[in-house]
């Protein structure tokens, strides 16, 4: 049995839709944190994405889906295996300040505040990322050297620099400035919410997508590893399928070699004779971005183009190679 943690919250809907496209049917996710899946070797639990890297690292869960922002925030990079970028749930983690400040440089804002002996206050859910970021800007090093910014939560406070304070936010982070914070660090997709609250993003700290992560010990256990590779194959098939097109095209015999020669993206096509003498069918997979540039050549050399968007393309040889590496 593979224990799989799926995320609650902003990634939830996209994750369940992704699994549906991969061929998994999940039932009951609207009513329970332990939904059922059409694979009796998988046991699902729904958790907050913030928690998933820790539970996977501790072995409480074998697999999980979480954002790369939370992998970094929980500092789990070295204790879990990030085995697949699922390429959905893309957000930016930005530093935003009130529009009234009229500055596009956070470093400059900080320098001016610290020159006057004032504090800088940041509100965020990402205490570690905010602390690392703040300590990395040149004015901080100039004024405070190796001191660590102060992190403040309802339960504990740590850090030795009260001129740079980071407050844990429990949501509605964009509502904190200007009374409770000078800046925020928060995720955004379009920037609309920030704009509606009079905030301007002036630094992008990182870009995050959803990742499939695994417990390293689960990957070393032969039976679990094989099942993890099966799941990985199905999910990677969706990732690859979203980038490709399956095309069928008919071509006269005299144009066949020219068509294949002039279209290098037609890798290892399947070529079949048609019932009409002198005609062939070419069946292959191409990158989506190649289709527009291919149309002029196809129009001149071929007929009857049919295009399908595949639900999945499973690169089985890559998965098997990954499995062999992890088994060593």
**What is the model's pLDDT at position 305?**
86
* Homologous superfamily of domain range 92-207: Periplasmic binding protein-like II (3.40.190.10)
**What is the model's pLDDT at position 262?**
75
**Structural domain boundaries in the chain:** 2-90+209-241, 92-207, 244-308
Mean pLDDT over residues 310-322, rounded? 80
**What is the model's pLDDT at position 326?**
58
H runs (alpha helix) in the chain: 12-21, 52-58, 68-73, 106-115, 127-136, 138-144, 192-196, 216-220, 222-241, 253-262, 290-301, 316-327
For 2-90+209-241, the fitting CATH number among 3.40.50.720, 3.40.1350.10, 3.40.190.10, 3.40.50.2300 is 3.40.190.10
99-154 pLDDT per residue, tens: 988 778 999 999 999 999 999 999 999 999 999 999 999 999 999 999 999 999 99
Query: How far is residue 252's CA from residue 282's CA, in Å, rounded to a whole number?
Result: 11
Query: How far is residue 24's CA from residue 45's CA, in Å, rounded to a whole number?
Result: 15
**What is the model's pLDDT at position 36?**
96
**What is the model's pLDDT at position 132?**
96
**What is the model's pLDDT at position 323?**
62
Which residue in 127, 172, 101, 179 sits closest to 110, CA to CA?
A: 101
- Measured between its terminal Cα atoms, the distance across the chain in Å is 22
**What is the model's pLDDT at position 230?**
95
Average confidence score pLDDT of the chain: 92
CB of 50 closer than 8 Å to CB of 187: no
More confident residue, 33 or 313: 33
Same topology for domains 2-90+209-241 and 92-207, yes or no?
A: yes
Fold category of 244-308 in CATH? Alpha-Beta Plaits (3.30.70)
Mean pLDDT over residues 173-177, rounded? 94
More confident residue, 296 or 94: 94
**What is the model's pLDDT at position 116?**
95
- Statement: residue 328 has pLDDT above 50: no
| CA R_g for the chain | 26
When pLDDT is cut at 50, 70 and 90, the band that residue 12 belongs to is very high
**What is the model's pLDDT at position 267?**
64
């Amino acid at each position: 049995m593979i224990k799989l943690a799926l995320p609650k919250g902003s990634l939830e809907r996209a994750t369940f839709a992704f699994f549906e496209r991969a061929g998994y049917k999940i039932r009951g996710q609207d009513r329970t944190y332990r939904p059922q899946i059409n694979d009796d070797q998988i046991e699902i639990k729904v958790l907050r994405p913030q928690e998933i890297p820790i539970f996977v690292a501790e072995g409480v869960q074998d697999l999980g889906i979480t954002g790369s922002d939370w992998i970094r925030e929980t500092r789990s990079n070295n204790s879990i295996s990030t085995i697949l970028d699922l390429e959905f749930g893309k957000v930016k983690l930005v530093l935003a300040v009130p529009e009234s400040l009229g500055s596009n440089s956070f470093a400059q804002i900080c320098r001016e505040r610290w020159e006057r002996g004032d504090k800088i206050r940041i509100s965020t859910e990402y205490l570690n990322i905010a602390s690392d970021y703040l300590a990395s800007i040149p004015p901080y090093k100039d004024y405070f050297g190796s001191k660590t910014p102060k992190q403040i939560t309802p339960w504990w406070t740590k850090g030795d620099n009260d001129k740079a304070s980071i407050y844990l936010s429990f949501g509605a982070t964009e509502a904190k400035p200007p009374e409770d914070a000078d800046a925020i660090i928060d995720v955004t997709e379009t920037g609309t919410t920030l704009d509606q609250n009079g905030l301007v993003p002036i630094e992008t700290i990182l870009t995050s997508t959803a990742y499939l992560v695994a417990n390293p010990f689960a990957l070393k256990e032969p039976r679990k590893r094989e099942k993890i590779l099966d799941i990985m194959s199905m999910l990677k098939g969706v990732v690859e399928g979203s980038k490709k097109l399956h095309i069928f095209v008919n071509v006269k015999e005299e144009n066949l070699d020219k068509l294949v020669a002039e279209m290098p993206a037609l890798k290892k096509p399947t070529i079949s004779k048609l019932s009409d003498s002198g005609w062939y069918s070419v069946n292959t997979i191409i990158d989506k971005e190649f289709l527009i540039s291919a149309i002029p050549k196809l129009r001149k050399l071929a007929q009857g183009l049919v295009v399908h968007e595949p639900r999945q393309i499973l690169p089985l040889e890559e998965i098997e190679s990954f499995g062999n590496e992890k088994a060593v």
